[in-house]
């Protein structure tokens, strides 16, 4: 292994609430188990990749609210990420509300003013030294033109690129053809439509039903591990982070999926997102 994972995305705070059901319009529900933790799809994916034992460069914007932004920065430094590029933008740091149902399924509402303010100039340092053995991992949080710029830079410099279009923004389907691998859940795959096949490899995650890989015109299904889900928040992030790390390790995409499913299943057995992600010790045996 001589490459690294370059994650360019978002970082923020998560507020998790357990709810018996989702509120009706105009209704107020009482949630339980409220807890704050660092979060954001980019942050979670970068942390998981680093815990897999690969060098990680993480680039994400933070806001001008020093208390929240500084706390996130401290958590990232403690996570063992090799390089942090955290531009401070004139917005509040992004945050998400995670509502978790008794069966472990979740609904998430996020702010995105900070991540949507990321311009090409803010990601320049993260792209400067890209090499063919590197893997660039992106989510749907950034402006589409910035995402397109990053995908083009990765392709131009020969790096592998992974695009996880969550959250989905109309127009994201036009970017799939610029990436090496697209990873989408069932809802995002429907939103991408036929464009999902424009990537060299497409992975559609299906929760308890496993996932499907479409590669070279062939379709292959992977069964999920049988578990009792407590909270599915963060499962997709664990999956994406492990896929990126496994590719840096030189694994084929099929082997990377098998490892990623184990990490996602483990995440689902614990409450929360950041706090539920697999530890370095839990991931170490898979990457020896």
pLDDT in tens, 126-165: 999 999 999 999 999 999 999 999 999 999 999 999 999 9
What is the pLDDT at residue 44?
Answer: 96
Report how far Cα 222 is from the mean position of its chain's Cα atoms: 20
Report residue 286's pLDDT band, with 50, 70 and 90 as the boundaries: confident
- Residue 34 scores a pLDDT above 90: no
Question: For 240, phi and psi rounded to 5 degrees?
Answer: -65, -45
**pTM summary value:** 0.93
Residue-level pLDDT at 1: 58
Q: Where are the domains of the chain?
A: 5-24+32-278
Q: What percent of the chain has pLDDT over 70?
A: 99
User: How many angstroms separate the CA atoms of 177 and 228, rounded?
Assistant: 36
- Output the six-digit token pair for 32: 């339980």
**Percentage of the chain modeled with pLDDT above 90:** 82
Please state which architecture CATH assigns to domain 5-24+32-278.
3-Layer(aba) Sandwich (3.40)
Per residue in 69-114, pLDDT (tens digit) is 999 999 999 999 999 999 999 999 999 898 989 988 888 888 999 9
């Amino acid at each position: 292994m001589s490459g690294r994972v370059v994650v360019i995305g978002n970082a923020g705070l998560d507020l998790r609430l357990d709810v018996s059901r989702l509120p009706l319009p105009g209704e107020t529900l009482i949630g339980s188990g409220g807890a704050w933790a660092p979060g954001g799809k980019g942050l979670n994916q970068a942390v998981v990749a680093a815990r897999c034992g690969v060098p990680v460069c993480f680039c994400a914007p933070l806001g001008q609210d020093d208390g929240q932004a500084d706390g996130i920065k401290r958590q990232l430094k403690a996570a063992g990420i090799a390089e942090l590029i955290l531009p401070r933008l004139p917005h509040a740091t992004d945050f998400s509300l995670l509502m978790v149902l008794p069966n472990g399924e979740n609904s998430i509402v996020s702010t995105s003013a900070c991540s949507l303010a990321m311009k090409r100039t803010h990601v320049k340092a993260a792209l400067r030294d890209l090499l063919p053995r590197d893997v660039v991992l992106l989510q749907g949080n950034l402006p589409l033109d910035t995402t397109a710029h990053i995908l083009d830079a990765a392709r131009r410099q020969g790096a592998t690129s992974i695009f996880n279009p969550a959250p989905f923004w109309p127009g994201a389907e036009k970017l799939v053809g610029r990436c090496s691998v697209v990873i989408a859940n069932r809802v995002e795959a429907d939103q991408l439509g036929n464009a999902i096949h424009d990537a060299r490899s497409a992975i559609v995650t299906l929760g308890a039903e496993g996932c499907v890989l479409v590669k070279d015109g062939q379709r292959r299904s992977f069964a999920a591990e049988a578990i009792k889900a407590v909270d599915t928040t963060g499962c997709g992030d664990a999956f994406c982070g492990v896929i990126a790390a496994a590719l840096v390790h030189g694994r084929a995409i099929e082997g990377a999926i098998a490892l990623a499913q184990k990490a996602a299943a483990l995440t689902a057995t614990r409450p929360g997102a950041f706090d539920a992600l697999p530890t370095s010790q839990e991931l170490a045996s898979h990457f020896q």
